Structure 1
């Protein structure tokens, strides 16, 4: 990607495949289609990863919770994909330990948890857990509620920067010959006399430029928006948008390098607090989202109260106050609903259907993005040139061909992080920046060089693209990272060509957005 990208009115007019949606599923379909040698165009109506795929719980789950629902195949697939990603992209997908206390007054028993974790371990081909007594759990988790505590478990899982995962897939698809456009909305899907897909019309949502594209197949990977293009063919089934919200605290309030997972006392749903990028995330909720999908989802007061109730219940000794919260985040999950009353009871499995060349894929989990992509491409094969699907044993990502000598001053952890997140572009990132940019942005793990590189090469249009998705300092620092503005100003002016008026306008728009959708409860709900 670059910041002088192709535009809707300048790219080729004929494509083997058009992918609609720049979240994790669309990005994965795009990457796999390009790998197959297909001429592929990806279109996203907002910014890449704007929706669910930058607002998740950052977990690459093995799917332990699905075992109790009898979803053995889903769990097995998730474990395999998690293990592959851990091996393939360290620094982007990294191990994360879970501590799960067990109580006699709610949640699964030690026996049930132990059996589930044993099956989990068999799937991962290595033991994934350690069992602890009540006393050991209390020692290992400071501030833990000890009333009715019977013991607990440590088990292995993984976490990711979800937006960077999406961006790396798109980056490598573009590097290998695909074309990806953000802020480009598909207005219509055209069909021929037999009712088959024949073309689409798309418009740049900011400049108004419009163009038509010929294609025999469109893959609709728009998540919660999927039914805007094609209805679910199964009677009584529809896409149910569910909101999941998080509170974000400074790391200092949570003295652990692993997750504490527990059952919320109000509804026995799994909730957790976990370390991420120098902060502590508390989440998540699971409630119906009845608002306009095109506006930023926002944490509600009821959700904030629910999360704090759970935190106070499980870690009363830490006395974490909502006043310590520095940011919030809400995302909308596209769940294929079968009419269950409780949101958390709905299945997280994905579905694919074909309407004469309009192939829709929706639902599913972040962890299994490649499986969703391959299922979508299988459904589209009748409309595509004869190409073999990528082998399941083939790596998803391009391994860095060489390592720049400019990496030498950085410690190994930082080097691994950069290669995981940027692949081959990590070399360009360090080679084209001044040494003063190879320092972290305040208390975060993000380097100033990452901000500079993203501004120059990341198809950034707005300050929110840069601070909320290309890097994440907007949710990792207090006040949305306002302390960065002085140093950001010359970077944005140089890289993006903004004059003083544009910089001031973007800064004001970003501050307004952050205060309305990403701020802590003390700001969101201030009278």
Structure 2
């Protein structure tokens, strides 16, 4: 099969930046095609620390502009997707051997006031011996600080951006690689390839290179697509252990090497600990945690928690490569998390996306369209700042005062589906928001959910993820569209994969 498709914008890369740009562009009236060589968010965008945050530690590197931009985006995103993004309070125990208390307090005050806050409360000091967050800690930590940021289901954020783009008219091709691109006058001629469709020829007026760790590689492969920048590939790894504490607070720990790690409540039953920062030179698609990284994260957590952990306590790990803009920093932790957009105008434009972080993806997309719009004769204004992502419109018949009032949404969802077990109702509401009603259309009891293919995963949900959210493998469903893999045994994975294969016999 050799198909010819025409579009205004071809986006190469299905991580958060590519999906965000595709959504913004199609919402302004452009014809958009997005291709991703693997699954959506399969690499960097599902391997974050799951935070929507300003980056408190970046203040030490004088990244005030980046921190302010990220802080401004926190509440924009909290309103856009309150089902998968929510406020999280962080406790920072004060280690007398590290940064002085006055410096931390000054930094937190700056963090509070660099951007307007309506949802997130301000920081304050606390006595750990009088606070729930102090109980899991060693007795030497008596003083601490509390501040606010946000939690995000990062892989679902990507999927929802792609879904919104698709529903607005974009064509999303997963497991589809852009194998060639060449300019001919004012058009790009690109070749996409996948197993299902074979070769797809695309004519596009512009290309966005949002290939993440492969951005430089893709730019180098396109004739005449010169580039002025490069990437630093920094590996970040995380570990997951059984729950270390019962309260809803997360921790940020200062360590002797001047780095910080987070310990975060995760999927109800677990604690997420990360991250590392290491230069990486291998295959970006095959990054894995090392034994040394596991030991490092355990050791850093053990400095603070009474309950000690080791490699034997780790139930899951994940690693990703952050494609950071190369700013010649000697320290991997100091490499800027800001982004740079470079447009090559030797004929049809190609926009390279260098760097970035998940918190600022929407702003990055907005700036990308500001660059491309005059080149494409587009005058449509920006629109995503006030637009909810799929499932994020939680208002229901006037019952909810605010779009981001998830607790009231969940209560109403329970009332409409009293037959759903509480844990399953909570997960459906959190994962799909208002779209959970589409998931459950025609379902009036547990039997209607179909076979339980894996713990907590019924056929109705698996079918929705396959038909609507591009899930094609057990890994797609168990580790990106959800984290149900934490509860699965090999036979569950095998059964789910068998079920998916029956739906896609090719």
- Contact 2:10–2:32 under 8 Å retained in 1: yes
Q: In the alignment, what sits opposite 1:511?
A: none
Aligned to 1:302: 292
Distance change (3 Å), C-alpha of 1:291 and 1:52: same
Given that residues 19 and 43 in structure 1 are in contact (C-alpha distance below 8 angstroms), is that contact kept between their aligned partners in structure 2? yes
Contact 1:168/1:421 (<8 A) preserved: no
Output the CA distance in 1 between the equivalents of 2:339 and 2:431.
26
Select which of 427, 452, 473 maps to 1:462.
473
**For 2:6 and 2:436, how far apart are their aligned partners in 1?**
32
Q: TM-score, normalised by structure 1?
A: 0.82
Contact 2:241 2:315 in 1 (8 A): yes
Change (3 A) 1:429 1:363: same
Q: 1:413 to 1:245 in 2, by over 3 A?
A: same
Where does the alignment leave 5 or more consecutive residues of structure 2 unmatched? 398-412
Task: Pick the aligned partner of 2:203 from 197, 200, 214.
Answer: 214
1:128 to 119, 122, 126: 122
C-alpha displacement at 1:381, in angstroms?
2.0
Say if 2:500 is the partner of 1:492. yes
Q: CA deviation at 1:76?
A: 2.1
Cα distance 1:490–1:313, how it changes in 2: closer, same or farther (>3 A)?
Answer: same
Kindly tell me: are residues 43 and 187 of structure 1, through their superposed partners in 2, closer, same or farther at Cα, counting changes over 3 Å?
Answer: same
Contact 1:406-1:431 at 8 Å conserved across structures: no
Instruction: Quote how far apart the aligned CAs of 1:308 are.
Output: 1.2
Displacement of 1:444 in angstroms is 8.0
Aligned to 1:482: 490
CA contact (8 A) 1:91 1:418 kept: no
Q: d(CA) in 2 for partners of 1:411 and 1:72?
A: 46
Aligned to 1:264: 255
Contact kept in structure 1, 2:188 and 2:207, CA below 8 Å = no
TM-score norm. by structure 2 comes to 0.85
Match of 1:518 in 2: none
Structure 1 residue aligned with 2:18, among 17, 26, 31? 26
**Which has the larger share of strand?**
2
- Give 1:189 deviation, angstroms: 1.6
Decide which of 138, 160, 169 is 1:168's aligned counterpart: 160
User: Tell me, what secondary structure is at the counterpart of 2:79?
Assistant: helix
Aligned length: 476
Superposition map of 1:92-241 within 5 A: 92-106=84-98, 108-122=99-113, 123-125=115-117, 127-133=121-127, 135-136=129-130, 140-147=133-140, 149=141, 151-193=143-185, 197-204=187-194, 206-207=195-196, 209-230=198-219, 237-241=229-233
Q: Which residue of 1 aligns with 2:38?
A: 46
Question: What CA distance in whole angstroms lies between the structure 2 residues aligned with 1:439 and 1:105?
Answer: 57
Contact 1:454 1:470 in 2 (8 A): yes
Residue pair 1:90, 1:417 contacting (<8 A) in 2 also: no
- Superposed, 1:439-458 pairs within 5 Å as 449-458=460-469
Q: Which runs of 5+ in 1 are unaligned?
A: 1-7, 503-527
Deviations 1:82-115 (A, max 9, x none): 1122233222101111110111111x22211212
Distance 1:214-1:441 versus aligned 2 partners, 3 A rule: same
CA displacement 1:340-382 (0-9 Å, x = unmatched): 2210011100010011211011211111111011111122223
Q: Establish whether residue 369 from structure 1 lines up as the match of residue 358 from structure 2.
A: no
Please state how far the C-alpha of 1:418 moved relative to its aligned partner: 3.8
| 2:403 counterpart residue number | none
For residues 381-431 of structure 1, the C-alpha deviation after alignment (integer angstroms, 9 at most, x for no partner) is 233242313236432425368689964545899667645643554222111
Contact 2:237 2:320 (C-alpha < 8 Å) held by counterparts: yes
The aligned runs of 1:347-496 (5 Å cut-off) are: 347-356=336-345, 357-391=349-383, 393-398=385-390, 399=393, 407=417, 409-410=419-420, 418=428, 421-422=431-432, 425-433=435-443, 435-436=446-447, 449-474=460-485, 476-477=486-487, 481-482=489-490, 484-485=492-493, 488=496, 491-492=499-500, 496=503
Once the two structures are overlaid, the 10-residue window that deviates more, 451-460 or 109-118, is 451-460
Contact residue 352 and residue 361 of structure 1 kept, 8 A: yes
Q: Which moved more, 1:283-292 or 1:226-235?
A: 226-235
Q: Secondary structure at the match of 1:255?
A: coil
For residues 493 and 13 of structure 1, do their structure 2 counterparts lie closer, same or farther at Cα, with a shift above 3 Å needed?
A: closer
RMSD: 3.1
Aligned to 1:63: 55
Asked if structure 2 preserves the Cα contact closer than 8 Å seen for 1:277 and 1:444, the reply is: no
Aligned partners of 2:116 and 2:457: how far apart in 1?
31
Q: 1:437 to 1:296 in 2, by over 3 A?
A: farther
Q: Residues 94 and 343 from structure 1, CA distance in 2 versus in 1: closer, same or farther, beyond 3 angstroms? A: same
